[in-house]
Homo-oligomer: A and B are copies of this chain.
Amino acid sequence: MNTCKCSKAEFDRERNETLSAQPEGKGLVTIEEEPIIGETPQAILKSWLTPNPLFYIRNHYTIPEWDSDWELSLGGHVNSALSFTLHDFHSFPIQTLPVTLECAGNNRSDLEPQVPGNPFQNGAVSTAIWAGVPLRHLLERAGISEGAVEVLFEGYDAGQPDPSVDVQPYLRSLPIDVAMHPDTLLAYEMNGEPLSREHGYPVRLVVPGWYGMASVKWLKRITVLQEAFEGFFQTDRYIVESDDGEPVPISKMHVKSLISWPEPNTALTVQSHMINGMAWSGFAHIAKVEVSDDGGETWNEADLVGPRYRYSWQQWNIAWTPKSAGHYTLVARATDEDGNIQPLETRWNSLGYIINGVRPVCVEVS
């Protein structure tokens, strides 16, 4: 071919080696070792940008390997089936976007009564600057045929997700309008570094505003579908039941906030403290965050600070001076610009998703 390809590939390899000297996952709070599942430590949730080694990981299967050079195939209900190499990706338009991803099961350990599933505390949420190619660019090259309704994504990773079903690759679909949205990315870069193996090297999907299960890693195949996909992680998991018992697939992140500081059970003195945290919603910008020091009786509005971007969490802080010594229950509640209000109580569901009720943080003031 040409020398630029060689030198770029060589450079990427060297860069990867340099940057991955720090093994991913080290420093995370381990939930499971195989496949790797870990959450971001509480103290890191104070930072708007999550450093790559501390970005939460929720893998479904073992990190995949494959023999030949990586290629991504794009087919199904399209005018012309195509395949793409990593070199192709670097010759397409770049899109860079700050995006917060949250695992649908974040805070699952808070549910009462408890449910099975990874017992996340509040750290299965992180923010990175992602760069890649708009998925739309590839779909337009292939040409979507009339009647297409969904786009299916297959990862190189595979396994048996449940004893009741066969070994299968990780598969998730998106409605065609979400797939065609200019901000839906095929990302090859995370915080200025090539994706690490743990986060989907060389190319993963990033669906801004959606819970993390939609952002398929280690992409292998993209298939345009004429009918809705049914599969284990589409129709058996990542669903909640509606009030009348119907299964509803989960998609956008519901409005939520967390208190970064103080941590639970922090001992404080009667002086001014800066309570701070994050708030996010997959539906709209955060409109306000309110904080209560009496467990939700009265509320004070926090200052929204730092970057204010569509798909990343909103940092907030509020000065607080306890009136006197004693026990305090701090809570934060976010509201987004669509009028969605973080509920005081999570709606309990048997698989433990969308756990966005306000979370009390108890502190002792002496």
Contact = CB atoms under 8 A, between A and B. Distances in A.
Interface of A: 1-4, 7-8, 11-12, 15, 18-19, 21-22, 26-27, 43-44, 46-51, 53-54, 90-98, 129, 131, 189, 191-193, 261-263, 266-269, 272-274, 276, 303, 305-307, 309, 315, 317, 319, 366
Contacts of A319: 93
Contact of A306 (B44, B53, B97, B274): B97
Given A4-B268, A43-B8, A43-B11, A18 B53 contact: yes
Contacts of A306: 94-97, 131
Contacts of A91: 272-274
A11 B273 CA distance: 19
A89 to B, nearest CB: 10
A49 B19 CA distance: 14
Copies per complex of this chain: 2
A195 to B, nearest CB: 12
Contact of A94 (B2, B15, B262, B305): B305
Contacts of A191: 49, 51, 191
Contacts of A43: 8, 11-12, 15
A22 B18 CA distance: 9
A312 to B, nearest CB: 10
Given A4-B266, A191-B191, A267-B2, A307 B48 contact: no
